[in-house]
Chain A
Amino acid sequence: MSTTTVAHHEEHADHPSGIMRWLTTTNHKDIGTMYLTFSLIMFFIGGSMILAIRAELFQPGLQLLNPEFFNQLIGVHALIMIFAALMPAATGFANWMIPLQIGAPDMALPRLNNWGFWLLPPSAILLTLPFTLALFGIGDGALATGWTFYPPLSVQGGIGVDFAIFAVHLLGISSVLGSINIIVTLFNMRAPGMTLMKMPMFAWGWLITAFLLVATIPVLAGAVTMLLTDRHFGTHFFDAAGGGDPIMFQHLFWFFGHPEVYILLLPVWGFIPQILETFSRKPMYGYKAQVYSLWAIGALAVVVWAHHFFTAGMPVPALLYFMYSTMAISLPLAVLFFCWIKTMWKGSMSFETPMLFAVGWIILFGIGGLTGLVLADVAADAQYHNSYFVVAHFHYTLFAGGIMGIMAGTYYWLPKMTGHMYSEKLGKLHFWLTAISFNLTFIPQFFLGLAGMPRRIPDYALQFAEFNMISSIAAFVLGFSQLLFVYNIVSCARGGKKATDQVWEGAKGLEWTLPSPPPYHSFTEQPIIK
């Protein structure tokens, strides 16, 4: 995508071209584009893995996959979707948009930024290489423990576990570098007059995400390193026979893992209100309340982790504490929902694709949040836990709340990034296909969970057949609909109707004051905010 314009040609006559441009670039937009492209590719890789799973689960009996391979696909699907699709998409937008939104020429630490990106492809290769190695008779495939790495299963596992541990280390370093860069940029490079409480909401979401990443990634890195030494160097952190405890790993993992779900979502909670205000032609409601709620969620995120393993056994006071603190998350979240809807209320709404995605996102993420509230109930969680009910719940939060949010952002900013309008017709078709097939994929999974189907099983009892069949068919529709998304993006990058600077009639904010596409160095002169 060589979208930089003629206007600023002389400025970057000395930039390397071709592959070297991308390898060595320190430009925030180039790096953002690389993150986004990488994310899109990995989204399809992770997606095709899970379509293989859905094909296997189409009917009872084993048809296509061995149970070992099935388990590997599940874990790698999740790691790819979380760390290589959703996370880099949010980082890609941060790179592209944060300097534009705060009136900065670039990110504060451009070389670090380059590094942050180029750690990603190797880690994606590390994650998937064991599949290829197994074809040549080396090792027995990728990590087969699910994305959660629980020992002792992960201590027992093959080289796939080691590969995944190193991949997680690299991904972690990449995330921390990206976070440091964002924190430094937001604290130092805001346009004169832009106080913290005037920052765009997207910047706020990312600031809190960045702090959460810096706080929790080291814990994950520590936990998987302990796992590595248990596997190879005779330590017994997680082995009762040597005085360790397998459940300790779960505490460490989820101390990172729960904040991680907010890490993935806070950036989305940042730009969705911006989309809502644009298409409601009315400033967002309750800016301050939203900022405080984001902080509250960031704080609560690090104190609720044990709700992911209530059934592992805990003293009653601990169960009660984690139950009530989890329920408390619904309070700031409700404030956010209230503000989002109040922003739309009595606006003058129009429903271009970004707005469709944003509104659909509110509804579907709402289902994810409400089922989360129910999951917090310890006694009922004994039933929901590790059943398909949980699978449905976290896809409402991660696919709808995460990926569909990212899609809203993509359509919203694509004209700014490429300088062309995408096809509105295809965009809308993409939305409806996605929204409908998403629900048809995951609503049946709620019922499967209630009926007693455990997650992570390659074959199932006959009573679960019908819902699985519906879910599988819908999953394929969902998967193939995403080709429209790619087609729309690629053709928009290639050409199309010229986009104006403001792009959307109701768009407000610094990024819309620059030409579409913006010049190579975004703001050479810092705008002044009154």
Chain B
Amino acid sequence: MQVLKKIGLGIAVMLASFNAFADYAWNFPTPATPMAADTLHVHNKFMTITGIIFIVVLAIMIYAIFAHRKSKNFKPVTDKVPSTAVEIFWTLIPFAILLLIDFVIMGIPAYHSVVMMENTRDKATMVIKITGSQWRWQYEYMDGDAQGIKFVSNLSTPKEQTDKGFKGVKDEHYLLEVDNHLVLPVGEKVRVLMTATDVLHNWWVPQFGSSRVAVPGFIRETWVQVEVPGTYRGQCKELCGKGHGYMPIVVDALPMAEYKLWVAAKKEELAKAAAGADKVWTKEDLMANGKTVYEKNCAVCHQVTGAGLPPAFPALTGSKIANGPIFGADGKYLKDGHLDRVLNGVRVMPSWKAVLNDTEIASVITYERNGLGNAVGDVLQPAQVKAARQ
């Protein structure tokens, strides 16, 4: 009795506390793609089947526990030393039921889901490429009107909120908000190419039902076809280092007409940035822009102050490289110089060539040389970066 009371109490407390947040998710979030709908369907079906098996077996056991007790003077029966045939027959019954459940009731729908999930090409109307890096996603549109659009998407939750010991009110979408959303047209099947630059990452939006590991040096594929306009959020789900919890995904699914407008606007914005690379910038503008770029991209490792986290992440304040020459006598950038390090990376230091544009690289280098406690005095112009890339 004592025991039953305890269990009852436990369950009551659990239910009461669960009721307190009634809108809580008890299952997969509402599906937004055919794949997620299929996954939810399969999941519900399998959960029901296994749930029934569990309850039936549990009921039999509980009956035995209460009926076949010594305290009730139940005398043990001797299982008739079963003839081998009987023994085999009895053990084959659960075997047969399970064979049916595993490979027919569960196995056939599972087969269709796999085939559907892996069919990335049929009827796909556009292709995007997603690149995971420590700790941000980069999106690139590979074909159609949007071809050439390419941008990086960073966590945008203010840093003080994610810092240790923050006591204030957190954003509504704490840790699930980014500066640049991926934008996709509703109803189109999008083939997704996935890769990474450093370690494994995994691009996962629960409402899309697709998740695929991004492997450096390889292209993996999946697809999404968002059916309902809206904003969808997800996270990286392959451990990728200390920033693993801080590389979310936000996708806006727009109706085709709005998507076209977005494409046009984005192209214009990128064209402007490219034009910026040809003009000569003032040191103040480079410094201001550089501070933003630095804090968004570099501060995770080198810290906002430039002090780094030695020995893993070197300080930039007083660093030989950040205070040394950028170009050699021949006008080419020096191997292991400041620009080389930022463009190409080394070991754990990422390569920024494909992530930042000319203006951003010029700004951040200028900022590192003249801010963060350094005072080299020179500036690097976007045009020089552009030339250096050739």
Within 8 Å CB of A66, what residues of B?
Answer: 164, 242
State whether B69 touches A348 (Cβ < 8 A). yes
A144-B242, A383-B28, A466-B21 known; A440 vs B175 contact (CB < 8 Å): no
CB of B315 to closest CB in A, whole Å: 15
Segment of B87-95, B289-297, B324-332, B358-366 in the binding face: B87-95
- Report whether A362 and B42 are in contact in the complex, using a CB–CB cutoff of 8 Å: no
Tell whether, in the assembled complex, residue B174 and residue A348 are in contact, meaning their CB atoms are under 8 Å apart: no
Q: Which of B49-57, B255-263, B279-287 contacts A (4 or more CB under 8 A)?
A: B49-57
Find B218's partner among A240, A347, A349, A455 (CB 8 Å cutoff).
A240
Expressed in whole angstroms, the minimum distance between the Cβ of A211 and any Cβ of chain B is 23
In the assembled complex, how far is the CB of residue A380 from the closest CB belonging to chain B, in whole angstroms?
A: 5
> Is there a chain A Cβ closer than 8 Å to B275's Cβ?
no
* Cβ-based interface call for A334 (8 A): yes
Contacts of B25 in A (CB 8 A): 447, 450-452, 463
Q: Interface extent on A, as a size class?
A: 35 or more
Binds A, one of B113-121, B145-153, B336-344: B113-121
Name the one of B6, B98, B174, B202 contacting A311, with C-beta atoms under 8 angstroms.
Answer: B202
Decide: A367 and B95 in contact? CB cutoff 8 A.
Answer: no
Binds A, one of B103-111, B183-191, B372-380: B103-111
A residues less than 8 Å from B116 (CB atoms): 379
Among B58, B114, B246, residue most surrounded by chain A Cβ atoms (within 10 Å): B114
Q: Which of A63, A280, A286, A383 contacts B87 (CB 8 A)?
A: A286
Verify if A281 is at the interface (C-beta below 8 Å from B).
Answer: yes
Is A432 located at the chain interface by the 8 A CB criterion? Answer: yes
**B320: CB under 8 A from chain A?**
no
Determine if B215 is an interface residue (Cβ-Cβ < 8 Å): yes
**Residue A496 is within 8 A (CB to CB) of chain B in the complex:** no
Q: Is A122 on the interface with B (CB-CB < 8 A)?
A: no
Q: Cβ of A452 and Cβ of B206 under 8 Å apart?
A: yes
Select A348's contact among B20, B70, B88, beta carbons within 8 Å. Answer: B70
Q: How far is the CA of A280 from the CA of B65 in the complex (A)?
A: 10
A458 to B50, CA, bound (A): 32
Q: Which residues of B have CB within 8 Å of A359?
A: 61, 65
B107 CB to closest chain A CB (Å) equals 7
CB of A273 to closest CB in B, whole Å: 13
Interface residues of A in 417-446 (CB under 8 A from B): 432, 436, 440
B79 within 8 A of A: yes
B110 contacts A450, CB within 8 Å?
no
Given A313-B218, A344-B65, A383-B39, 14 additional A-B pairs, CB 8 A? A61-B170, A62-B165, A144-B242, A239-B217, A346-B64, A349-B74, A366-B57, A377-B106, A379-B113, A436-B6, A450-B28, A452-B204, A461-B176, A470-B17
11 CB-based A-B contacts, threshold 8 Å: A67-B244, A156-B198, A245-B217, A311-B211, A312-B215, A313-B213, A345-B64, A347-B77, A386-B237, A459-B175, A461-B174
Q: Which residues of A contact B (CB under 8 A)?
A: 60-64, 66-68, 71, 139-140, 144-146, 150-153, 156, 158, 239-241, 245-247, 280-283, 285-286, 288-289, 309, 311-313, 316, 319-320, 323-324, 327-328, 330-331, 334-335, 337-339, 341-342, 344-351, 359, 362-363, 366-367, 370-371, 373-374, 377-380, 382-383, 385-387, 432, 436, 440, 447, 450-452, 454-463, 466-467, 470
Binding site for A on B (CB under 8 A): 3, 6-7, 10, 14, 17-18, 20-21, 24-29, 35, 38-39, 42-43, 46-47, 50, 53-54, 57-58, 60-61, 64-65, 68-71, 74-79, 84, 87-88, 90-91, 94-95, 98-99, 102-103, 106-107, 110-111, 113-118, 161-166, 170, 172-176, 198-200, 202, 204, 206, 209-213, 215-218, 220-221, 234-246, 311-312, 347-348
The 10 A-B pairs of least Cβ separation, nearest first, read: A240-B217, A379-B113, A457-B245, A452-B206, A454-B237, A451-B25, A370-B50, A313-B220, A282-B76, A67-B242
